[in-house]
Amino acid sequence: MVNPKKRFFHIDVNSAYLSWEAVHHLKHLGGKTDFRKELCAVAGDVELRHGIILAKSEKAKAFGIHTGESILEAKRKCPNLLLLRPHYELYEKCSKAMLGILETYSDRVEQYSIDEAFLDMTGSEKLWADPKDAAWEIKETIREKLGFSVNIGISSNKALAKMASDFRKPDLVHTLYPEEIKEKLWYLPIKELFFVGDATERKLKNLGIFTIGELACTDLEILRTYLKKHGEIIWHFANGRDVSKVLETPNIQKGYGNSITIPFDVKDADLAKQVLLALSETVSARIRYAQVLTGQVGIRIKDIFFRNFGHQRSLKNATDVTGEIYEQACRLFEELWDGHPIRHLGVYAGKIMGKDTGRQRVLFEKRDFEKFQKLDQAIDEIRKRYGIDSIKRAVFLDSHIDHMSGGISREKRTVDEEEKVLW
């Protein structure tokens, strides 16, 4: 019997990046080709070392091409694969438009990722006796107004709704209520369970657990022993249990970070510190925008051998000043780097606290905190008004390093309305 008191929907855009590229190409660039129907994929830039498949068409999927594999691997499987450059600003606009539609159906909407969202539809029984009717209406409204398709999963809790939306695609509605899990869920391989990644899958298989049903029937104490709290969570999911709510207001962010894969191998410490400065600029700007302070700075290095190194340090005083974050990042770098060429750097800020946190006075403090805080705020205002390139540090004037690096590379932040050239 379906629980009439709880109704949760999970909306998942089908091949989101590819769908959004296709709609933009057809409706705004005057194109005649629907990329969703072609042997096609969206992929990162090989020259910038972002050469992985981000989304693929059903035809590409039939060749065994999957999200996350390298372009070289995909091309070996299918030499004729057509590749599209990603445009993240476009994706953000499409995501925002979809959320706008969802908010007309419920005042409890949680954006789970750029192409996913949860809706709490509890209380809508008088409008739609059958929740599938509401889901089909939402799905068709998105298709008619925005031009792309979604899958919608329905259940009495969020975890099951999420897994239901991953059933057969595209453009479908599925239910997965607790009483349906033995029939619809338990026979699936363990990797299909929500919250089970590659590392967890390997651990479960080492325990002889290969299906979701086998996990559901495993002694919980065994999972706690080998997987700690995570084992308990996925055991409850496998048994159809989840008490989480749709979060209309996101939780306070616990950390901020930014990283970049550098287009060339960095062999010089001074150049590496330029990258760290550019990353510190973007991270500190986000911290100031959120009106919080960080009490911890960390860095991460990946060298040409794909070895990862990380280091972090707590601060005596929480800060949002770019110079202080950068100074700590440099100290960590000097302690961590072993001299091998670098391909990837990241700067991270943790122990986030409120802006009103007191700052302990240090007798011989080198930096006037309030002075530099006001300077950074002035720089933020100038960049907001006149663009991020309107003011930059002199060290970047003749540098190959973007002064506001990390995350989405510069050439992908905007959409070229005339672009029709593919890879």
Rounded Cα–Cα distance for residues 396 and 234 (Å): 47
Contact between residue 283 and residue 404 where contact means Cβ atoms under 8 Å apart: no
- The active-site residue, picked from 21, 69, 110, 116, is 116
Question: Residues with Cβ < 8 Å from 387, sequence gap 6 or more?
Answer: none
Active site residue 21: no
Rounded Cα–Cα distance for residues 423 and 290 (Å): 38
Q: Give one word for 347, left, alpha or beta, with left for phi > 0 and alpha for psi -120 to 50.
A: beta
**232 alpha carbon, distance to own chain's centre:** 24
Is 414 strand, coil or helix? coil
* Complete DSSP assignment for 172-187: -EEE--GGGHHHHTTT
For residue 358, the one-letter residue type is G
Rounded Cα–Cα distance for residues 347 and 43 (Å): 25
Rg (Cα) of the chain, in Å, rounded? Answer: 24
Rounded Cα–Cα distance for residues 408 and 412 (Å): 6
**176 alpha carbon, distance to own chain's centre:** 25
CA geometry: angle 390, 419, 148, nearest 5 deg: 105
Q: Give one word for 345, left, alpha or beta, with left for phi > 0 and alpha for psi -120 to 50.
A: beta
Contact between residue 219 and residue 277 where contact means Cβ atoms under 8 Å apart: no
Q: Which residues of 65-74 are buried (b: 16+ CB within 10 A; e: fewer)?
A: beeebebeeb
Which residues pair with residue 314 across a beta bridge?
A: 296
Which residues pair with residue 296 across a beta bridge?
A: 314, 350
Q: Give one word for 137, left, alpha or beta, with left for phi > 0 and alpha for psi -120 to 50.
A: alpha
Tokens standing for residue 325: 């974050």
Report, as residue numbers or ranges, the catalytic residues.
Answer: 116
